[in-house]
Amino acid sequence: MPTASEKALDDLLVSQEFMEDPYPLLRQLREEDPVHWSDSIGGWILTRYDDMVVTFKDTGHYSNEGRLAKAVAYLPPETRAEFKTFEDHYRQRSLIHSDPPDHTRLRSLVTKAFNARVVEGMRPRMQEVVNQVFDAALQPGQMDVIKDLAIPLPVTVLAEILGVPKADVHLFKDWADGLLAFQGVNKPPVPVLRRSQESILGLRTYLGALLKQKKAHPGEDLLSELAAAEAEGERLSETELLNTCITLLVAGHETTTSLIGNGIWALLRHPDQWQLLKNDPTLVTSAIEEILRFESPVARQPRLMKVEAEMGGKQLRQGEMVFQMLNAANRDPAYFTDPDLFDIRRQKNRHIAFGLGPHFCVGALLARTEGQVVFSTLITRLPNIRLVNEKPDWDVHKPNSRMLKSLPVLV
């Protein structure tokens, strides 16, 4: 039986207070119990940088396969049967729900769409979108950074890389929100699971029809290339094709949305750093890396124990879940001097906001480039930008993400 203090700590891990400011509790866990079992979250909580490196690299023990399908494992059989589509989706292979060698094969098909040449080729389009947003904000003198910039920019860019019609881009935010709603939550409520399953069905129907068009009339976009690979039969199955496309459309923009929102928030909350950046725009690159470290867009990542392993003196058993708390690792004093200090001139900054090893984020370069365009333009176009509210509006319903729901600013 857990002690009263252990129960209180476990309750805190799923509280709104923790979602708004997780760092004090993560620091406590890292110092006192860095491999911590949490009944409330439903798995092991890892808070040390070194332990996360192991779990990223060792896919033989810490697996991506089937990890999210466990979200329905707690349901009684008659209720669980309702979520067969959900469970099948997360048991089937896709880019981030597979391990090598399948992951290696799938990754090789999409990597070239996110290489330096393609990303640089998208820079003028990124600049155009950012300029349009800032132009629209100047007359009223205000905007919501999340709604007006941080969401539409990455969704627009990703849709153009993939080959999604502009008229359909607006559909993906609701699908993404629905699909991600259950993640990071132990025993997600049935209504949340229903919403996620409906998003899967909506995405599969939409993408199935779009990929059929791409096969008949291919263009110069990633979906056309993936459809061709599926048609070849040996490199990509129809299921892998659909699931990978869903992954790219949904997960592909969330990190950048967080990076932009969290970055503008952090800079405006630290006016000395904002002034430093305005005085020396060459600091944009290091500022982006510090934003990624200081407010990691992905707060936690789950792994499923494939076989038993020992970590931090604890036995992690086959079938148990492990949660990599990236925002804890990126403030580990063993790797970062003054980790709770926001310093855009930080020299030693080997953060793992984009992961590590085989599953290092395929869109990392794209996210960083979009960040460069946003923050460089912000300096020149909106140098007097300021917060409307001092209290941040964190999205407390997405445990896996560190994301603001809104960020109103005056320009």
Cβ-based neighbours of 90, under 8 Å, separated by 6 or more: 66, 67, 68, 69, 71, 97
pLDDT at 1 over 60: no
pLDDT tens-digit readout, 78-131: 999 999 999 999 888 788 888 998 888 888 888 887 889 889 999 999 999 999
Mean pLDDT of 48-59: 97
pLDDT tens-digit readout, 390-403: 899 999 888 889 99
Q: What pLDDT is recorded for position 105?
A: 87
Q: What pLDDT is recorded for position 93?
A: 78
Q: What pLDDT is recorded for position 106?
A: 86
pLDDT at 372 over 60: yes
Tell me how crowded residue 56 is: count the other CB atoms within 10 A of its CB.
21
Band of the pLDDT at 235, cuts 50, 70, 90? confident
Asked which of 91-100, 247-256, 345-354 is least confident by mean pLDDT, the reply is: 247-256
The domain spans of the chain are 4-410
Mean pLDDT of 333-343: 98
Asked which of 76-85, 155-164, 311-320, 351-360 is least confident by mean pLDDT, the reply is: 155-164
Query: Average pLDDT of the chain?
Result: 91
pLDDT tens-digit readout, 272-305: 999 999 999 999 999 999 999 999 999 999 999 9
Q: Is this model's pTM higher than 0.95 or not?
A: no
Return the CATH architecture of domain 4-410.
Orthogonal Bundle (1.10)
Q: Between the CA of residue 366 and those of 84, 119, 156, 171, 175, what are the distances in Å?
A: 34, 6, 12, 21, 22
Q: Where is pLDDT greater, at 26 or 238?
A: 26
Q: What pLDDT is recorded for position 178?
A: 87
3-state SS track over the chain: CCCHHHHHHHHHCCCHHHHHCCHHHHHHHHHHCCEEEECCCCEEEECCHHHHHHHHHCCCCEECCCCHHHHHCCCCHHHHHHHHHHHHHHHCCCCCCCCCCHHHHHHHHHHHHHCHHHHHHHHHHHHHHHHHHHHHHHCCCEEEHHHHHHCHHHHHHHHHHHCCCHHHCCHHHHHHHHHHCCCCCCCCCHHHHHHHHHHHHHHHHHHHHHHHHHHHCCCCCHHHHHHHHHHHCCCCCHHHHHHHHHHHHHHHHHHHHHHHHHHHHHHHHCHHHHHHHHHCHHHHHHHHHHHHHHCCCECEEEEEECCCEEECCEEECCCCEEEEEHHHHCCCCCCCCCCCCCCCCCCCCCCCCCCCHHHCCCCHHHHHHHHHHHHHHHHHHCCCCEECCCCCEECCCCCCECCEEECEEEC
Q: What pLDDT is recorded for position 4?
A: 61
pLDDT at 160 over 70: yes
362-400 burial, b at 16+ Cβ within 10 Å, e below that, comes to: bbebbbbbbbbbbbbbbbebbeebebeeeebbbbeebbb
Q: What pLDDT is recorded for position 2?
A: 58
Band of the pLDDT at 234, cuts 50, 70, 90? low
Q: What pLDDT is recorded for position 397?
A: 83
